[in-house]
A = this chain, B = another copy of it.
Amino acid sequence: MAMVCLSDFEAYAKKYLPKIAWDYFAAGADDCTTRDENILAYKRIHFRPRMLRDVSVMDIRTKILGTEISFPVGIAPTGFHQLAWPDGEKSTARAARAMNTCYIASTYSTCTLEEICAAAPGGLRWFQLYIHRNRAASQQLVQRAEALGFQGLVLTTDVPYTGKRRDDVRNGFRLPPHMKLKNLEQAFEVCKMSPAFHSLLDPSVTWNDIHWLQSLTHLPIIIKGILTREDAELAVRHGVQGIIVSNHGGRQLDEGPATIDALAEVVEAVRGRAEVYVDGGIRKGSDVLKALALGAKCVFIGRPALWGLAYKGEEGLQDVLRILQDEFRLSMALAG
């Protein structure tokens, strides 16, 4: 079977992953409307292609927070990569480094931050943080990440509680016994995925906690989950360096906006005072081009990265990234 486009990897993952893992990765909240809208919204955006421009040489590199990456597509934070591939996040880190792009490692990784860094020394990585009720534990995670050379701290804001993903409830989803939330072992008793693990999250987090984070670390702070101009303005005022327009892949609040639709209002509100990124619904290189045309500095992929891992681990994720890179370059050329 030729792997020609990202849907091929999706079909492969759906066929070969255990149902419980596939369902977990595929899940959207409630009716999955927002999950699906993330994709449909891209289709409603049309190019105005221009002709007869010299497209013989194209430079698709970009910089995010000052660091160059080979093309404007990074790896969004997603949990439990061992569900997709035995080496888990270590493979993800290796693929991201090989493709010279940025990997945002999740708090809910099944490898430790130390293992991730050891697997791909020198790769550009950011660390994604949930703030726990136990603030000391969160502080420890932040400082561990900084010490390990992570170059950005991504604060997820849209999970005061976990969204209702019906299939996960039906499946009674939990991690298999041999997988652990390794980064939380040091901080918590809870070290394997259970229905309770999300109750560790602190639903009382507010904008003031940005200042608390800034007091803990010198890392630039990127805030993830912003969907409105009002929150974008607040983010800038609180001194964040980056904003990821995201609805958590449609896994949290259903029937909010598609991310690509929310992007323009965020970009307009930010007026260049921070870098703006977007995730959710990227399935083709032309989607990347659309996001950039609407003001994103870079996009991040979530589920497609997991499909790549499920296909062939590090190599499969590189395939996914390479296809996106080729498609992005081609659509740039064809759009002039």
Contact = CB atoms under 8 A, between A and B. Distances in A.
Contacts of A47: 253, 255-257
Given A48-B257, A284-B30, A333 B161 contact: yes
Q: How many copies does the complex hold?
A: 4
Contact of A330 (B163, B247, B284): B163
B50 A253 contact: no
Given A54-B204, A203-B333, A254-B284, 9 more contacts: A5-B166, A47-B256, A47-B257, A51-B157, A54-B205, A55-B204, A161-B334, A163-B334, A253-B334
A87 interface: no
Interface in A196-222: 202-207, 209-210
14 contacts: A2-B170, A4-B170, A5-B164, A47-B253, A49-B227, A49-B228, A50-B230, A52-B206, A55-B160, A55-B161, A56-B204, A253-B286, A255-B286, A256-B335
A286 B250 CA distance: 14
A335 B54 contact: no
Interface string A39-73: 00001011111111111100000000000000000
A284 B31 contact: yes
Is the contact region of chain A dominated by helix, strand, or loop, or is it mixed?
Answer: loop
A326 to B, nearest CB: 8
Contacts of A326: 164
Interface in A1-53: 2, 4-5, 30-31, 33, 43, 45-53
Contact of A253 (B161, B209, B231, B331): B331
A131 to B, nearest CB: 10
Contacts of A209: 52
Given A30-B5, A284-B31, A330-B163, A52 B230 contact: no
Given A4-B170, A206-B54, A43 B49 contact: no
A173 to B, nearest CB: 12
